[in-house]
Amino acid sequence: MEMDTIYENVEDVKDEGKAQQNRRSCLMLATVILGTICVILLVFVILQHTRAGSNRLGLFFISNNTMSWSESRQFCRDRGADLVIINTEEKQRFISPFVEDFLWIGLTDEEIEGNMKWVDNSPLKQGFWVDGEPNNLNGENCVIIVPVENFLKNWNDVPCTFTFKALCEK
């Protein structure tokens, strides 16, 4: 074999090596880009899910029997739920049309008079009280939602020992 041909072959092998290296680099880059996109998508989906979770309306159910506020709460908790927390106007408007009875909701100022708290311990920010309520008449510390036409004024505080049906949210 002549010297020229040997050099040509060596050059070909070098070129092939470079091409292979380039292909590997491209593959690596594509993998990194795809991986990054996957991670971004995953984070996005998780964030969406978390946000949707915190805003979502749950499953609502009402007890057949009437009970005190504490018994109502226990009734809900025994079923993996709790008395409903109504902390947005949207939720208040959603729930109100289904209210056909006096129903306990998860709001009470039993601990400190006038300091209404939800069952998750969060403070009441916006109330949807019947005019004149809450009036703490003879020590009323627990709250019911009542079936009246005005869906933005249908809460009343009543004695916690009175018996009403429970409105639970899971």
140 binds ligand 2F8 (CB under 6 A): yes
Shortest gap between Cβ of 84 and ligand 2F8 (angstroms)? 19
Which of 99, 145, 156, 166 touches ligand 2F8 (CB under 6 A)?
156
Which of 137, 150, 152, 161 touches ligand 2F8 (CB under 6 A)?
137
In the range 37-66, which residues lie near ligand 2F8 by CB under 6 A?
Answer: none
Contact between residue 76 and residue 166 where contact means Cβ atoms under 8 Å apart:
yes
CA distances to 7, 13, 99, 149 from 1, in Å: 10, 17, 98, 103
Shortest gap between Cβ of 129 and Ca ion (angstroms)? 9
109 binds ligand 2F8 (CB under 6 A): no
